[in-house]
């Protein structure tokens, strides 16, 4: 009977320890479930961050491309300004040459102008306070109703000299 009592005590102790172990395993299971839930939440946050980073990288590429395009357009504009300046300078030179050539003709009420007169009168129009158009006795042109140009009427056509 004493052995049965000891066995009963050992069984009770074992049962108590098993119940305690079951409670610990259950608590561990709950803790692991909470850890898994937190890890899943963190994985979702990391995924969201990765998607946002991808979108930002795409946006930065677009901004960089737009800046490159603006740089190209600026360079093209600068080149066109250079071309326009060169064309303007060429036109100015050709205008002076034409004015010099026209100055060789004599008309009524005008005198013979030398070749250097147009260049001197146009050398610095800002200092003289006058417009850039030289005042010479060049025959004036008038426009007709059709938009073309016709020579102004000459009262004395005998004043032209042959060269």
Tens-place pLDDT, residues 54-94: 999 999 999 999 999 999 999 999 999 999 999 999 999 99
Yes or no: say if 154 and 108 are a contact pair by the CB < 8 Å rule.
Answer: yes
Q: How confident is the model at residue 156 (pLDDT cuts 50, 70, 90)?
A: low
Q: How confident is the model at residue 137 (pLDDT cuts 50, 70, 90)?
A: low
Is the pLDDT at 127 greater than 60? The verdict is no
Beta bridge partners of 149: 143
pLDDT at residue 158, rounded to an integer = 56
pLDDT at residue 69, rounded to an integer = 98
pLDDT at residue 104, rounded to an integer = 87
Q: Cα separation of 42 and 49, whole Å?
A: 10
pLDDT at residue 147, rounded to an integer = 47
Counting Cα atoms < 13 Å in the Cβ hemisphere of 6 gives 3
3-class secondary structure, 161: coil
Q: How confident is the model at residue 116 (pLDDT cuts 50, 70, 90)?
A: very low
Arithmetic mean of pLDDT over the chain: 80
pTM for the full predicted model: 0.42
pLDDT at residue 109, rounded to an integer = 65
pLDDT at residue 88, rounded to an integer = 98
pLDDT at residue 76, rounded to an integer = 97
Is the pLDDT at 159 greater than 90? The verdict is no
Closest CA to 111 of 140, 141, 136: 136
Region of 108 on the Ramachandran plot (φ > 0 left; ψ -120 to 50 alpha; else beta): beta
Helix (H) or strand (E) holding 18: helix 2-102
Is the pLDDT at 112 greater than 60? The verdict is no
């Amino acid at each position: 009977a004493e052995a049965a009592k000891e066995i009963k005590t050992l069984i009770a102790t074992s049962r108590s320890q098993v119940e305690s172990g079951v409670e610990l395993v259950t608590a561990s299971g709950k803790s692991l479930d909470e850890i898994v839930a937190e890890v899943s939440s963190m994985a979702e946050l990391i995924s969201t961050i990765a998607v946002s980073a991808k979108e930002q990288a795409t946006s930065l590429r677009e901004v960089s491309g737009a800046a490159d395009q603006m740089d190209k357009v600026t360079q093209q504009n600068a080149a066109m300004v250079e071309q326009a300046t060169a064309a303007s300078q060429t036109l100015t030179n050709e205008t002076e040459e034409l004015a010099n050539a026209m100055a060789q003709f004599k008309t009524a009420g005008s005198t013979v102008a030398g070749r250097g007169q147009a260049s001197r009168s146009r050398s610095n129009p800002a200092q003289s306070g006058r417009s850039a158009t030289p005042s010479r006795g060049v025959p004036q042109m008038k426009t007709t109703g059709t938009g073309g140009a016709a020579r102004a009427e000459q009262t004395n056509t005998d004043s032209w000299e042959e060269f």
